Amino acid sequence: MRTALHNILLLLIVLTTLACNDDKSNIVVTGQVIDEITGKPIPNAEVLVRCWYHHNIDDNSFNEETLTTDNYGWYETRFSKGHKVDVASVADDYQPSRSHNELKDNVVEVNLKLKKGKENPTLITSTVLYKDPPYLKVRIPADKNGEEMDFENAKSFGFDFKSLKTNSDTTQTDFWYRIENKEGLPSTIVTSNKGGLIPIFDDEIKSSLVYEKTTAPIKGYVTTYKLTGKEEGFFIRCRDGKTYGKMIFGEAEVDVSTPDGLGSFYKEFGKNIICLYQPNGTTDLSYPQTDIDLKDFL
């Protein structure tokens, strides 16, 4: 027994050491922030640098520094250890940009290009971006005995661009998850016959989908789409067939079981979303806000 316990403890020590060995020491992060169009440096830009390190075998922690670029657009900071560095920057009248970097060496240069903001006063957003976003989800009740899931009475909470809310009456929403006879995150998104969606994949995005892919296509929409897990979000043609929006998946997922107050329970599965909506019938989805909190953005 003692030998087996000793071996287990030794294995845990080895695994912990291997995990910590991913961290580099004496990290130096430097870079320049420039105008995307002119290539000129941007002085006095705000820069947030977040350095991730292994706290223990199954937990990451980070340290971060907020900096200001010098007259030539340069910044520099240091960390004692880490394996990943995230950098974001924003400046007056410029849209933010961000970069995520796995460390191959203890010195890394992360340069960011900022784009001038564009006015778009008619654009509507689902919420204050990155804070309290809505959730696209399904709710599956259990039977009255709480022994099996009642898929026949499951509900899908779709999103309505006009009200900027979710609704279990999907005839009043623009897109929703198709209910499936299984537990877990649904695999298909559907829209009304007049509406549609076009996927935007994560490898198409350099920094943030909020600020990229700013013009909705006119053609190419489908009313049913099976998810692959590589989608960053979607262009959406609304159920009126005339207006357009953009849906972006957030980081949080719903996977909860909740008492229904009647002696049973229900389960919910879904993801949080960010939505941009253009009600004037144009395809312009440019997000104009530039004074954004970099901690939320990163």
264 and 167 in a common domain: yes
Tell me, what's the pLDDT at 146? 76
162 and 131 in a common domain: yes
Domain with 59 in it: 2-116
Residue with tokens 């920057």: 89
Last residue within a domain, chosen from 60, 84, 116: 116
Q: Which residues pair with 114 in a beta bridge?
A: 35
For the ranges 12-21, 70-79, 261-270, the maximum mean pLDDT occurs at 70-79
* Over residues 188-196, mean pLDDT: 97
Distance CA 190, CA 178 (A): 6
175 and 108 in a common domain: no
- Range of weakest confidence among 32-36, 124-128, 168-172: 124-128
How many CA atoms are closer than 13 Å to the CA of 143, on its beta-carbon side?
6
150 and 93 in a common domain: no
pLDDT at 57 over 90: no
Write down how long the chain is.
298
Residue with tokens 């953009």: 246
Tell me, what's the pLDDT at 128? 57
Q: Please choose, from the candidates 215, 207, 33, the residue with its C-alpha nearest in 3D space to the C-alpha of residue 114.
A: 33
240 and 177 in a common domain: yes
Tell me, what's the pLDDT at 13? 46
Round the average pLDDT of the chain to a whole number and report it. Answer: 90
Tell me the per-residue pLDDT of 151-169, one tens digit each, with 9 for 90 and over: 999 999 999 999 989 999 9
| Confidence at 77, pLDDT banded by 50, 70, 90 | very high
Tell me, what's the pLDDT at 289? 83
Dihedral sign (CA 33, 36, 42, 46): negative
* Over residues 121-128, mean pLDDT: 82
Residue with tokens 């979607």: 234
154 and 137 in a common domain: yes
Domain holding 60: CATH number? 2.60.40.1120
pLDDT at 239 over 50: yes
265 and 152 in a common domain: yes
156 and 18 in a common domain: no
Residue 232 CA from chain centroid, whole number: 7
Q: What is the pTM of this model?
A: 0.82
Last residue within a domain, chosen from 67, 92, 116: 116
Q: Please choose, from the candidates 113, 88, 115, 116, the residue with its C-alpha nearest in 3D space to the C-alpha of residue 32.
A: 113
Last residue within a domain, chosen from 116, 140, 164: 116
The count of structural domains within the chain is 2
* Over residues 115-123, mean pLDDT: 92
